[in-house]
Amino acid sequence: MKPIIDAHVAEPGLAVVEIAAADDETAFAVQELLAARWGIPPADRTTREPGEPGVRLRCWTCVHNSTRSTKRRASLTR
């Protein structure tokens, strides 16, 4: 995979998540779980590295987008 771009981890709360899985179906299923929790923008493809098993998928998230964080912030502003 390409190197991580500095902007994707430029401040606290930002993260890059790399999923390694046996196949596309599994990688996209894990991405769906993350999207439901963290509201990540979905990746549209996986990559295969020659000589390495399985596929890789990379997505980006911000912990401030989580359902739990949103509920916590809302409770603090009341």
What is the predicted pLDDT for the residue at 1?
A: 63
Q: CA 38 to CA 33: how far, in whole Å?
A: 9
Model confidence pLDDT, tens digit, residues 42-53? 889 999 999 999
Model confidence pLDDT, tens digit, residues 24-47? 999 999 999 988 887 788 889 999
What is the predicted pLDDT for the residue at 73?
A: 36
Percent of the chain with pLDDT over 70: 76
What is the predicted pLDDT for the residue at 34?
A: 87
